[in-house]
Amino acid sequence: MPAMLLEAICAAKSPPWMPPNGAIHGIGLDQLMRWNLLAVSICFLVAHIWLIGALLRRRSHDQTGTPSAFRWTLFAALCAMYLCMAITAQHLWASSRYAGAAPSAMQVEVVGEQFQWYFRYPGADAAFGATRPDLVNAAEGNPLGLNFHDTRSRDDIVSSVLVLPVGHEVDLRLRSIDVIHGFFIPGMRLKENAVPGLVLHVHFTPTTPGTYPILCSQVCGLGHARMQAVLSVVSAAEFDAWLASRGRPEQQTQ
């Protein structure tokens, strides 16, 4: 992981300080972030050069000719910049959030719980089985409260690592058992809260194999800072092998 952050600074492709991007939608996001950071840095510098220049001069030399045309031009240029930011951002936002995932996307459920992330794969039947809060029992290997009377639950696979095949779109359904958590994968440029009582969908396509930290970004209690997990992006073959290696759900929560 330290190597990952070191790379973030060296990698020319990521905006400054950001970890390398590993998702398709992150390319546009990174581009937008780069020119936004550049634009506001320039505005900051120009405003301060103007300010310091005025302060050093202390007095006005020309009391005639008002530079109001200059001010209006500057104002219009800044408004154009805000508009440009808003429009570009809305395009990207709409393309990643307005529509759901494609029907071919892989389904994975993400469940936040003080202070642990769990990931559930629906198994061969491609359907998530029912859960009940009163069945939740992490010590006995059922941290999500799967109801095994529901036949769809029986082949569900619960993991504490999120393993995804590279280049395949994934549709995450986010849930929380107790309080609000923030599901954040910096390397996938993805963040969405996991809210109790709601099932929220976010989707993305990982492009680069590797491991990426998953963090909790919404304060959720005393274990907030250690509520982390790993996203492992692997080849399709490795993914299939990993999935096949998982046994029945009762044995799968280490």
Closest C-alpha to 110, from 147, 144, 150? 144
Binds other proteins (CB under 8 A): choice among 146, 164, 172, 220 = 220
**Token pair in block for residue 5:** 């952050």
Of positions 12, 17, 103, 244, contacts other proteins by CB under 8 A: 17
90 binds other proteins (CB under 8 A): yes
**Residue 173 C-beta: closest distance to other proteins, Å:** 12
Per CB under 8 A, 112 contacts other proteins: no
12 touches other proteins (CB under 8 A) = no
Please say which residue, 81 or 243, places its beta carbon nearer to other proteins. 81
Binding piece for other proteins, criterion CB under 8 A, among 120-128, 163-171, 174-182, 242-250: 174-182
**Of 164, 143, 145, residue with least CA distance to 252:** 143
For residues 121 and 239, what is the distance between their CA atoms, to the nearest angstrom?
12
Determine the 3-state secondary structure of 146 from DSSP. Answer: strand
Of 136-165, which residues contact other proteins (CB under 8 A)?
136, 145
Helices and strands: H and E segment counts in the chain: 4, 10
Nearer to other proteins, 126 or 228 (CB): 228
DSSP 55-111: HHH-S-S--SS-THHHHHHHHHHHHHHHHHHHHHHHHHHIIIIIS---TTSEEEEEE
Q: Does 49 bind other proteins (CB under 8 A)?
A: no
What angle, 0 to 180 degrees and rounded to 10, lies between the N-to-C axes of helices 68-93 and 24-57?
Answer: 160
Please say which residue, 64 or 237, places its beta carbon nearer to other proteins.
64
Stretch that binds other proteins, among 28-36, 119-127, 151-159, 237-245 (CB under 8 A): 28-36
Of 13, 19, 25, the C-alpha closest to 213 is: 19
Alpha helices for the chain (secondary structure H): 2-10, 24-57, 68-93, 236-245
Residue 44 binding other proteins, by CB under 8 A: yes
Contacts to other proteins from residues 224-253, by CB under 8 A: 224-226, 228-230
| Site residues (CB under 8 A) for other proteins, limited to 179-218 | 179-180, 182, 184, 186, 189-193, 195-198, 200, 213-218
